[in-house]
Structure 1
């Protein structure tokens, strides 16, 4: 029987061919090599001037090529990248057979985070030049990435207060026990416990002072920039929130930002950056209901960008959904609402305000009608004792405009998930 025979181990591989001959002309490492060589690393923020004394350093070009290769091939660990330098023919060709160790790779990534972000911007610019980015339809969303910080090492004011109360109780109990103690060993143990509780109290007081000084709601001790966030329903994790904007043509990311805030105030900045990247405002942006905020819709209008934001379920639902707020017609000229029964709701002109203790208090007018008292449809319209009440704030016209956009393009909005969830799935898979 015939078999394919292996080469002898003392023979040169591939008949002694060079690395250049072993790397195919269409291999992706040639694109990485050309892309990184085309960058001006100094302008991007990489350090290229090193002192002549001491051991020579690796040029940032070499380490950047290795990182980009790792990202494209699901290799993020610095130790794994170091191992590839010794055994991977593609990496040997890309780096000219240089073999940086894992500490060098890790420190390069750590000390050049902003510059590496600028490399991503240049990759987006190159994708635009190659017409891989359409710039006509964008979708935005966020995903939570769990931090290294545990819930145990995340604190807010209430949690710190509970710890301090517990410590005070223990110190009080120890003081009482110390007053009654007669054994020297017991006295020493109580003194040690009190000293330990005193150190813990000082630690929590420092955390509380840190919260007060920086005006923060939370503090994480091992991963300082992370925050405890709602992941799903009532499930929370200490995490980061990654805001991403994705182009529809090939589901390519054009922008991202790692934050520790929720979505409600993110859309405006995402649209500003997208406009700057695409250098135009004539595109459509799709967002889910987490971004349904009046201030952000106002920013989109000022930028001249058409947005379709999912409409959340109304906070107050009528007993019969035919009498929900969206079925009440607003007359801009008369500043009145007309209900499904034909009655007119008017305002007394007084401006009411709520959420005074928050950074964005809301001012609004209230609309009522006396016809509610005798209306036969009242029980289907409202359960309020004084009849139907409508609140209209400054951003109501923006909400109505967004509702019209969504209603006019129902199939367009359905594409949002298929566009923006695609890179999230890729990232989490890798």
Structure 2
């Protein structure tokens, strides 16, 4: 056999460079993450992550927060969030060993760092967004707003109603009585037959916990009933003062428990660059109440409001339509997206080339349109009728050529960003509670913008990224 191979020797010394910085490529993501975090640290923008010094000087020195941030940020960039997986990669992966400078915080330390700095990750999102703005990537000429449901770190099947807890208590007591009877028959009445058998001691603890949970549910249910009753009494008082019935459905005592065990992640995305300009996590199931606070949050974070804001029908209301002002023009669909797409197809006159995104059905519909249909499908012209309300005016604007062109950017911007989140593993939050979910939402948004900045090749001053950060 031939022996003309590259020499292979597992005992070879100094196979890797002694300088850990030589292990990675100059244009690699891990080096870019390291440069950006160092850049923010040099400007004093990571001070919230630094712990307060102990006055007595006791205790082992902690790992450097810059190093811990680099590990977490790079992990989220490539879709690795588990502290145990990060622990293993710090041993095996060249990129992680470079970022940690061959130090090795264990998974408990990584998890504790993330837990202790949950509120600071929103600050990190703002700082990375600032780099994107300075690079000209978040002009906010046109932005799109949407919400996405994300599973929380909780199991829906572990939630119990008061009736379910009562049934489980009865089942445990029945089982205990049956086993007591068997034990009495087997050991006799004088062999501690009045005590709970050994195998049911854990069930006794569970029974006590269930009883406590039932008491808590009873108290909460009573509180909800009292609050709802007060709402009904308040409504009746208002009706007496007005001398007529109020419009709308009366509040009732019935409640719904069919909610998803998760959160509503909101994001406003720059349509040109897919940079997230603001984000939030809420527990509200509907999006209609989120438009105003998200626009206010956008102005607070970026120092200005967007010129044009696009949103789907979930955000439509007359109150939201009135939020438009000289700074921000709103494009809010009044019907579901599939209906909106149908309107856009019907409003597209069959002239010129057939759009590439047309399917067989759309092509046939275009072919068979009559002249009358074409006249009805023409974009609206002339003055707006005086009887038009806010909804009719919005629908008319979205039927115009300008409105159609602008609104089409919504799905290809904000929905694409949510798809990229899912690709990196953001289908469920690992940290518990609303604060934990907000922390992970901020981390995903910050790393999303960091990836956009890295792929753009631009730095904060508009030059090449490596030159901008090094300079």
With over 3 angstroms needed to count, the CA separation of the structure-2 counterparts of 1:9 and 1:304, relative to structure 1, is: same
Task: Report the TM-score, using the length of structure 2 for normalisation.
Answer: 0.59
RMSD across aligned C-alpha pairs, in angstroms? 4.1
1:33-77 deviations in Å (ceiling 9; x for gaps): 222222336643542534621222112111111101111122111
Q: Decide whether the 8 Å contact of 1:229 with 1:238 is kept in 2.
A: no
Distance (whole Å) between structure 2 residues aligned to residue 94 and residue 415 of structure 1: 38
Give the Å deviation of 1:166: 5.9
- 2:53 alignment counterpart: 49
Distance (whole Å) between structure 1 residues aligned to residue 333 and residue 13 of structure 2: 63
Q: Decide whether the 8 Å contact of 1:167 with 1:201 is kept in 2.
A: no
With over 3 angstroms needed to count, the CA separation of the structure-2 counterparts of 1:400 and 1:46, relative to structure 1, is: farther
Give the Å deviation of 1:399: 3.0
Give the Å deviation of 1:400: 3.8
Matched, 1:404 2:396: yes
Distance (whole Å) between structure 1 residues aligned to residue 16 and residue 88 of structure 2: 25
- 1:240 alignment counterpart: 263
- 1:310 alignment counterpart: 333
Q: Decide whether the 8 Å contact of 1:75 with 1:81 is kept in 2.
A: yes
Q: Decide whether the 8 Å contact of 2:166 with 2:214 is kept in 1.
A: no
Residue aligned with 1:301, SS: coil
Q: Decide whether the 8 Å contact of 1:48 with 1:60 is kept in 2.
A: no
With over 3 angstroms needed to count, the CA separation of the structure-2 counterparts of 1:130 and 1:245, relative to structure 1, is: same
1:112-163 deviations in Å (ceiling 9; x for gaps): 11101210111111011112223111111111112232333336xxx43x44
Distance (whole Å) between structure 1 residues aligned to residue 170 and residue 85 of structure 2: 51
Structure 1 gap segments, 5+ residues each: 174-182, 218-227, 231-235, 314-321, 323-328, 338-395
Q: How does 1:332-351 map to 2 (within 5 A)?
A: none
Distance (whole Å) between structure 1 residues aligned to residue 385 and residue 397 of structure 2: 19
Distance (whole Å) between structure 2 residues aligned to residue 195 and residue 131 of structure 1: 61
1:247-272 deviations in Å (ceiling 9; x for gaps): 11221222221111121201111111
Q: Decide whether the 8 Å contact of 1:272 with 1:303 is kept in 2.
A: no
Residue aligned with 1:412, SS: helix
Task: Report the TM-score, using the length of structure 1 for normalisation.
Answer: 0.64
Q: How does 1:201-216 map to 2 (within 5 A)?
A: 201-210=211-220
Q: Decide whether the 8 Å contact of 2:145 with 2:414 is kept in 1.
A: yes
Distance (whole Å) between structure 1 residues aligned to residue 8 and residue 169 of structure 2: 77
Distance (whole Å) between structure 2 residues aligned to residue 426 and residue 214 of structure 1: 40
Matched, 1:250 2:273: yes
Q: Decide whether the 8 Å contact of 2:142 with 2:306 is kept in 1.
A: no
Give the Å deviation of 1:397: 4.3
With over 3 angstroms needed to count, the CA separation of the structure-2 counterparts of 1:167 and 1:425, relative to structure 1, is: closer
With over 3 angstroms needed to count, the CA separation of the structure-2 counterparts of 1:10 and 1:75, relative to structure 1, is: same
Q: Decide whether the 8 Å contact of 2:17 with 2:23 is kept in 1.
A: no
Higher relative contact order (CA 8 A, sep 6+): 2
With over 3 angstroms needed to count, the CA separation of the structure-2 counterparts of 1:214 and 1:31, relative to structure 1, is: farther
Q: Decide whether the 8 Å contact of 1:245 with 1:256 is kept in 2.
A: yes
- 1:291 alignment counterpart: 315
Q: Decide whether the 8 Å contact of 1:46 with 1:115 is kept in 2.
A: no
Matched, 1:427 2:437: no
Distance (whole Å) between structure 1 residues aligned to residue 411 and residue 22 of structure 2: 44
Q: Decide whether the 8 Å contact of 2:143 with 2:306 is kept in 1.
A: no
- 1:32 alignment counterpart: 33
Q: Decide whether the 8 Å contact of 1:281 with 1:303 is kept in 2.
A: no
Matched, 1:112 2:112: no
Give the Å deviation of 1:6: 4.0
With over 3 angstroms needed to count, the CA separation of the structure-2 counterparts of 1:107 and 1:11, relative to structure 1, is: same
Residue aligned with 1:120, SS: helix
Distance (whole Å) between structure 1 residues aligned to residue 317 and residue 420 of structure 2: 29
- Give the alignment partner of residue 293 of structure 2, picking from 253, 269, 272: 269
Distance (whole Å) between structure 1 residues aligned to residue 98 and residue 168 of structure 2: 62
Give the Å deviation of 1:104: 0.3
- Give the alignment partner of residue 154 of structure 2, picking from 149, 154, 158: 149
Q: Decide whether the 8 Å contact of 1:46 with 1:112 is kept in 2.
A: no
- 1:363 alignment counterpart: none
Distance (whole Å) between structure 1 residues aligned to residue 213 and residue 297 of structure 2: 41
Distance (whole Å) between structure 2 residues aligned to residue 189 and residue 15 of structure 1: 68
Q: Which moved more, 1:26-35 or 1:66-75?
A: 26-35
Aligned residues: 326
Give the Å deviation of 1:109: 0.5
